[in-house]
Structure 1
Amino acid sequence: MLTHLAIKDFAVVRAAELDFAAGLTVISGETGAGKSLLVDALGFLSGARADSGVVRHGAERAELVAVFDLSDAPAAAAWLQEQDLDDTDAGATCQLRRTLRADGGSKAWINGRPATIAQVAELAGRLVEIHGQHEHQALMARGSQLALLDAFGRHAPLQAQVQAAARTWAALVRERDALSQRGDPGDRIAFLEHQLQELQRDALEPAAFADLVAAHRRHAHAAGLIEACDAAAARLGGEDGPALGRQLQQMRNDLARQAEHEPRLLEIDAMLDTAAIQLDEAASLLERVRADLDLDPTAFDDLDRKLTRLHDLARKHRIAPEGLAAQRDALVAELESLRGAEDRVRALDGEIESARLAWAKHAATLTKARTQAAKSLASSTTTLIGELGMGGGAFSVSIEPNPAADPDPQGAERIEFLVAANPGQPARALRKVASGGELSRISLAIEVAALGLDAVPTMVFDEVDSGIGGAVADIVGQKLRALGAKRQVLCVTHLPQVAAQGNAHYRVSKAASDGMTQSAVRQLEAKDREEELARMLGGVEVSKEARAAARRLLADVG
């Protein structure tokens, strides 16, 4: 809800700050004092087109600031988070700020960050509804009307089913379109099959490639390896002198004879024993390695050709040789996908039709519920319109099939609020109702009939009581106060019967200062409020009777 409004150099207001609470807040004042300027300020903060004419004479710019508590506006809080415009330091509050320059320019900020007018309007649409001038009417938009009807009928579960069915249908259509855009997969399949044949000729796993590289290197250096192995075997076997094994054994015998004089020689003997064992194992391994070595030019050529082929394949696919196995697996997966594409497209055709039928079923249920809710809302609103001084007027909800051929998340119909303001007049769209006072009262009737189910937490009514008086004025005030129990309501009024119903009361007054007319705004306490109601009842000269009547009005409200 709106908690604070600050105005500076706006029209005839030099500076004003107002604090608001829940319930009904009324704003009164003499004719021409600028009561509706507060509504106009909220209009500009809601994204209305900049107007240099509202800048106070002599000032360079007007500045408007509104602060909202977001605890009752989850949609606004979610929007701010999506747009990265939420202010974590400020907690569950939001600030809208706008400046209007005398040269016609304007700037806007959300939580201290620059924002476009479109962003401001989008956010404000989740925070405040202004019922009065046509350009500010939230209920003029058919989307808002549909949302209010669904809130009135408590259609959220049915809406969720329709939206989910529409999303499922759309996802399936996107999948089919993506497959269809590939065109005829035959050429691609032939190309991939050729590439796959090349990759399937050899073992491509990294370990197999490493073994191939090792075998190629071994054959490339076979002569040197054979020579080294033979030389080592000759030394170990004693062909070129005493065998190393016999030398170790002789060494151990010599040390053993002296070990009784130096016990540490026994440790050396154990080490030499281990060395002798490892020497035997080395000789056995050397023999096996030598047996595997062979000067075979044909085998080397085969290995060389195979390794060259794998390197060529790797260059062709622009990957390292170790990645050839992964490339082969990727081609297999793509081939399987392409080969199943035609079958998937055929299957998708059936799934899309099933999704359409599911949407149609849920949409039909929602249509039935909306039709019933429309009758109930129309009946309640028509009754309230009569109570609000528009006897013979009628309200209805037009429900027409949605012209869109595809499943729509909003359902199978479009709706519009229609009003016949007087008996015998044809019903017209609410947005075409000419009289601002009538429009405000009709909007009030709709909101009261809907029990404040509109998701927007703050509602502003400008001159809702225009052209009425007496008992009807009492009813208007009572309806506004009832609505204030559900939503925060601000009302600009000139009738004491309406003003008496307010939970809070502001008075706008004007006076000449330095040769210029200026407006001031202040909140009224109990005694001042009685005096303001007496003024509204009695005119310029406030009589005892007017004060007594004002006290009765306040007492009747309690």
Structure 2
Amino acid sequence: MLVGLSIHNVVLIERLELAFAPGLTVLTGETGAGKSILLDALGLALGARAESGLVRKGAAQAMVAAAFQLAQDHAVQRLLEEQGIAAEDNLILRRQVGSDGRSRAFVNDQPVSVAFLKTLGEHLIEIEGQFETHGLLDPANHRDLLDGFGGHRALLEATAAAHRAWRAAEDALAEAEAALAQARSDEEYLRHAVAELELIAPQPEEEARLAQERQVLMAGAQVIEAIGAAHQDLAGDRGADRTLIAAERRLQRVADRLGDALGSELAAIAGCLDRAGVELREAIAGLQSLQQALDADPARLERVEERLHALRDLARKHRIRADDLPAHLAELTARLQLIDGRSGDLAALQKQAAETRGAYVRAALALTEARGKAARALDQAVARELAPLKLDKARFVTRIQPLPEMQWGEAGQERAAFEVATNPGAEPGPIQRIASGGELARFMLALKVSLARAQPVPTLVFDEVDAGIGGATAAAVGERLKRLAGQVQVLVITHSPQVAALGAQHWRVEKKVAKGATSTSVATLSAEARREEIARMLSGATISDEARAAADKLLKGAA
């Protein structure tokens, strides 16, 4: 709820600090005292359009700050989190407007856009005047208000979940159908390409292996000659192999004639020669094997080159790398399977889409039926409020209109609209187009009282909701404002003593002229001052004893 309002240099207000309480707060004062300036200032803090004319004459800038207490689960907490602003129990919206009309907006001293400030304001305060076109008068809000009135949260959650499941199934089906249609359009190409690739049967990283083997084979005779010479050097009559064996034998014979120390050392050396011989013989065997392989297939180079050229030609044809040919074959094969073996999968997706649609329709139908019951209950609740507000000939109707399937959504299959008929026999129409200014304000009050438990905004402001009425009707307006204030915080600007007498908090707005300057101030009234103010509202400029007695009666009746 709104707990404080600080106003500096706004039109006639030089400096004003207001503290708000729960329940019903009434603001009274003579016409022209500046009550509308308070609303303009509050609107600035809530993101309304800024104009240089709002800045007090002679001041460099105007400033308004509105402080709120928030519940932990208030929708504003999520909005703050999305903007990276620390969510706290207290929230301060601040707006500065320069004499050039430029403005800056802040939330908890962090700069924000005016648009974001306005979004927050719409969740915090609703200002209801005779010609307001938001809040209850916006048809976009009517379905949500009806659901709040009917307590449809569980049905809404079930319908939203069913709709998401249906849309997911429809998307999966559409994707599969599109893939199948594309595959069918490319079927001839796909079959040819798969057959061609399967004939070649490319292997992973085959190009690199073939290129390396081709390089070796192209060396040809030079490689074979070098291998043969190396083999002769190692294994010939005077090769390293025979030399090592001879040296090892000599050392073994000599070692037997030496003492233990020298004999052991010489034996160790002979062992080294033996191990070297083992490694050398493995190298000789490897050279023999490689020489035989190269000599065994003189046509190998031609086959390697043919295979390499075939892979590269196929890669160019498909505009990919040769190493990607195996993956490309797998992809084309999968696309063919959409035609050859996916009809069963498509049928399963079609079945799932139909089943999830049916589940959504059933959930939405339950919500539709609940909305119908809530609409009838709301119509009856509003009707009970209309007669005391001197609208007994009017009729309020909550119209539920089915939506075409393409507009079905998580919130169901229909829209809701609040309509009224002010004359007997007339067809109901949109409330803001049918009702006159005074009627509209009272219709809105009747709605607000009926929808109190569904009210998403914690603070309501009524601007002269009692305009043009008096007596019993004004008393009925006041009684409903007081009842509404039991559910949410209510601020009302009023000229009606019957309404003023019901306030839990009473402020008087005054305009004063001092040293040639005009200013507006707001005073919290004591019990005696409140009696005098209500007496003034009853009798005018001259307050009579009769007016004071009548004020006492009103205040006593309101207690």
Same fold (TM over 0.5): yes
| Structural mapping, 1:188-337, within 5 Å | 188-206=186-204, 208-241=206-239, 242-254=242-254, 257-258=257-258, 260-262=260-262, 264-265=265-266, 267-294=268-295, 296-337=297-338
| Displacement of 1:300 | 0.5
Distance 2:430 2:449 in 1: 19
Unaligned runs of 5+ in 2: none
The alignment partner of 2:408 has SS state of coil
The answer for the alignment partner of 1:5 in structure 2 is: 5
| Displacement of 1:204 | 3.5
The answer for the alignment partner of 1:157 in structure 2 is: 154
Verify the 8 A CA contact 2:255 2:266 in the aligned structure 1. Answer: yes
| Displacement of 1:422 | 6.2
Cα–Cα, structure 1 residues 425 and 320, in superposed 2: closer, same or farther, change >3 Å?
A: closer
The alignment partner of 1:152 has SS state of helix
The aligned amino acid for 2:131 is H
The answer for the alignment partner of 1:66 in structure 2 is: 66
The alignment partner of 2:192 has SS state of helix
RMSD value over aligned CA atoms? 3.9
Verify the 8 A CA contact 2:12 2:56 in the aligned structure 1. Answer: yes
Distance 1:441 1:499 in 2: 17
| Displacement of 1:395 | 2.2
The aligned amino acid for 1:200 is E
The aligned amino acid for 2:376 is K
Distance 1:532 1:72 in 2: 39
* Identity among equivalent pairs (%): 38
The answer for the alignment partner of 2:138 in structure 1 is: 141
Decide which moves more: 443-452 or 403-412.
403-412
Decide which moves more: 338-347 or 205-214.
338-347
Distance 2:251 2:393 in 1: 130
The aligned amino acid for 1:445 is A
The alignment partner of 1:6 has SS state of strand
Verify the 8 A CA contact 1:437 1:464 in the aligned structure 2. Answer: yes
Decide which moves more: 293-302 or 73-82.
73-82
Distance 1:261 1:388 in 2: 128
Verify the 8 A CA contact 1:375 1:397 in the aligned structure 2. Answer: yes
Decide which moves more: 285-294 or 546-555.
546-555
The alignment partner of 2:27 has SS state of strand
| Displacement of 1:144 | 1.1
Distance 2:77 2:191 in 1: 54
The alignment partner of 2:452 has SS state of coil
Distance 1:339 1:94 in 2: 63
The aligned amino acid for 2:442 is R
Cα–Cα, structure 1 residues 180 and 280, in superposed 2: closer, same or farther, change >3 Å?
A: closer
Decide which moves more: 348-357 or 465-474.
348-357
Distance 1:134 1:255 in 2: 122
The aligned amino acid for 1:191 is Y
Distance 1:207 1:59 in 2: 79
How many residues are aligned here?
Answer: 553
The aligned amino acid for 1:35 is K
Distance 1:109 1:517 in 2: 28
Verify the 8 A CA contact 1:203 1:209 in the aligned structure 2. Answer: no
The answer for the alignment partner of 1:33 in structure 2 is: 33
For residues 481-518 of structure 1, the C-alpha deviation after alignment (integer angstroms, 9 at most, x for no partner) is: 33233223222223344334434443321111343432
For residues 404-451 of structure 1, the C-alpha deviation after alignment (integer angstroms, 9 at most, x for no partner) is: 665344433333222344667664431124443432232222122123
The answer for the alignment partner of 2:85 in structure 1 is: 87
Distance 1:276 1:22 in 2: 103
Cα–Cα, structure 1 residues 110 and 147, in superposed 2: closer, same or farther, change >3 Å?
A: farther
| Displacement of 1:139 | 0.8
Cα–Cα, structure 1 residues 405 and 197, in superposed 2: closer, same or farther, change >3 Å?
A: closer
| Structural mapping, 1:162-201, within 5 Å | 162-171=159-168, 185-201=183-199
Unaligned runs of 5+ in 1: none
Distance 1:130 1:407 in 2: 32
Cα–Cα, structure 1 residues 515 and 113, in superposed 2: closer, same or farther, change >3 Å?
A: same
The answer for the alignment partner of 2:500 in structure 1 is: 499
For residues 347-374 of structure 1, the C-alpha deviation after alignment (integer angstroms, 9 at most, x for no partner) is: 7676656555544433333222212111
| Displacement of 1:525 | 5.8
Verify the 8 A CA contact 2:183 2:338 in the aligned structure 1. Answer: no
The alignment partner of 1:494 has SS state of coil
For residues 21-56 of structure 1, the C-alpha deviation after alignment (integer angstroms, 9 at most, x for no partner) is: 443333222222122333334445556556665554
The alignment partner of 1:395 has SS state of strand
